[in-house]
Structure 1
Amino acid sequence: MTQVLVSAASNQTGAGLGAQAFDIVGPVGVVAVRQAVAAAVLLPVARPPLCRMTWTQWWPTLLLALVFGTMNLTLYLAIDRIGLGLAITLEFLGPLTLTLAASRTRPDVVTAILAAAGVYVLVLPGPADDVLGLALGLTAGVCWAAYIVLNRVVGVRLTGLQAPTLASGLCALGYLPVLVTITVAASWDASAVTRAVAAGLLSSVVPYAVDLVTLRTVTPRQFGLLSSAQPAMAALVGLLLLSQPLAVHEWLGIAIVIAANALAVATNATTAPTERAAGQ
């Protein structure tokens, strides 16, 4: 639970800082910097064994690199088009669907529904006629679910941070033309660089490391449910970092999400040994 909250707090703080650079370099530019920073920090530390990797290690890592690039880009583009609340709601449908699909007992289903209700109350998304924005948000949700599953796989097949490090490096190479284009166009200023780099550290490096460790101790179902803390943390970060006051329904949504996460932890304490044994 603590690890997921740390990941959520870091991720949402970085996203808030990165969004402040949208007007200067755009969502694509921020994503490009995020991946470059993640690769620059992680590669010297993890040092993936490229020459010794087998195909069973390569294929989930390659897919993880694709997910990294697609998930971040589609979410930022969705936020830019349909707003933070609706974008986060749509993205959370990914891990929520994963949780419901893996649920086998009534408490599992009740907890998942409670978390979904909390997120909905938190953001109270209104109608939107931006079909592309909606599609981008849903795509981010699919990527988030894939991220959970793939992190579970690569965490078993590669030691330490080798898999997310290599995936970040490959993703950074894919976004290299974007960095070159922005640099040539002289779009950068000190403020944009600082915010984009902070987004890379807080929204990529920290969550990648924490999530990988977490998924070695909990199942994808449990992780997907605990991810409901992300929208609640986004609201709190908005209050503390951006001085955005919270409405009554937002406080109520946060309370429901906290209750759902507490129930998930209680359920995890009694079912985790069985689930982990079944997954081995």
Structure 2
Amino acid sequence: MKFQPKTKGIILVITGAMLWGISGTVAQYLFQKKSFSPEWLVVIRLLVSGLILLLYAFMKNKQNIWAIWKSEHTILSLILFSIIGILGVQYTYFAAIKYGNASTATILQYLSPVLVTCYLIIRTKKMPNLKEITAITLAILGTFFIITKGNIHSLSISKLALFWGISSAFAAAFYTLQPRPLLAKFGSILVVGWGMLIGGIAFSFVHQPWNIIGQWSITSIFAVIFIVLFGTLIAFCCYLESLNYIQPTEASILSSVEPLSAAFLSVIWLHVPLGIHQWLGIACIIFTVIILSYTKNK
């Protein structure tokens, strides 16, 4: 079946976003049902994905994968991106899943566009416009509903889940802002490939990849393979490929299916209870992403 270019782009970005969301729920299964540690899953995911991306860049695009190491300034920027950006966002996200659930972790990470917007407002010293104020208000309201279920006197998630979820949003904001010069010069596959590999090597000193913690079974094996291949590599490639057919703003809006897929699968598969206030919170933050994406496009 032959699709129109825009239809193809929409299918690709939705596929990538859904794979990201599903992989979060699969990680929750490994942490909470099979006793795997976030540390081991992070280090394996980064090392394997980084190596495959670099091999892909070398084989298909004929890129000189070592060119990125020729400048001291570039090296420092790459290391910061690898440790704070790639490793930071991976570990904080998985830790938030371990102490909470995939849907909450994913939606808290989606606060990162608000943090980016606030940073740019401060940096440019410009007053926020109405759309930015609306988006920030919605994000705060959505977070309130998710973590309190509408009751200001209690938390509906653990303090550790909240801490790691918010930390994931900050790491994702850094991941978005910091590598722009690197991406413009070397391309996303090469930068992210090296970022994952360096992050994996660095984290190997914290948790060795051969130190496996968890209960192995057929489902565990398939779950790990799914997270590394489908939830990382294929999802990433689908998202990048979609940008050849649709605008980045459209891709950002459509990728909002990620928290929805994580939430639905958590409820259906892992029987995570989500009440009306939490669904309302998810809706608020998804609308935040849509508003901010549209604003940046304008």
Q: TM-score, normalised by structure 1?
A: 0.74
SS at match of 2:228: helix
2:269 and 2:131 map into 1 onto residues whose CA distance is 36
Aligned 1:137-152 pairs, distance under 5 A: 137-152=165-180
2:156 and 2:281 map into 1 onto residues whose CA distance is 21
The CA deviation at 1:118 is 3.7
Give the counterpart of 1:157 among 185, 191, 208: 185
% identical aligned pairs: 19
The CA deviation at 1:164 is 0.5
Is the Cα contact below 8 Å between 1:60 and 1:153 reproduced in 2? no
2:20 is equivalent to residue 11 of structure 1: yes
Aligned to 1:191: 219
The CA deviation at 1:65 is 1.7
Counterpart of 1:179, as a letter, is P
Is the Cα contact below 8 Å between 2:49 and 2:229 reproduced in 1? yes
Counterpart of 2:50, as a letter, is A
Change in Cα spacing, 1:251 to 1:166, as seen in structure 2 (3 Å) is: same
Gaps of 5+ in 1: 272-280
2:43 is equivalent to residue 32 of structure 1: yes
1:137 and 1:186 map into 2 onto residues whose CA distance is 23
SS at match of 1:69: helix
Gaps of 5+ in 2: 1-8, 122-127
Q: Deviations over 1:93-147 (max 9, x none)?
A: 4432212333542222213322443454356465279665544333322211111
SS at match of 2:187: coil
Aligned to 2:82: 65
Higher helix share: 1
The CA deviation at 1:80 is 2.1
Question: For this pair of structures, how many residues does the alignment match?
Answer: 265
Change in Cα spacing, 1:8 to 1:109, as seen in structure 2 (3 Å) is: farther
SS at match of 1:191: helix
Counterpart of 2:134, as a letter, is V
Q: TM-score, normalised by structure 2?
A: 0.70
Q: Structure 1 stretch 185-194 or stretch 97-106: which is displaced more?
A: 185-194
Aligned to 1:201: 229
Give the counterpart of 1:44 among 26, 44, 55: 55
Aligned 1:237-256 pairs, distance under 5 A: 237-242=265-270, 244=272, 246-256=274-284
Is the Cα contact below 8 Å between 1:152 and 1:215 reproduced in 2? no
2:21 is equivalent to residue 21 of structure 1: no
The CA deviation at 1:16 is 1.1
Q: Structure 1 stretch 125-134 or stretch 95-104: which is displaced more?
A: 125-134
RMSD value over aligned CA atoms? 3.8
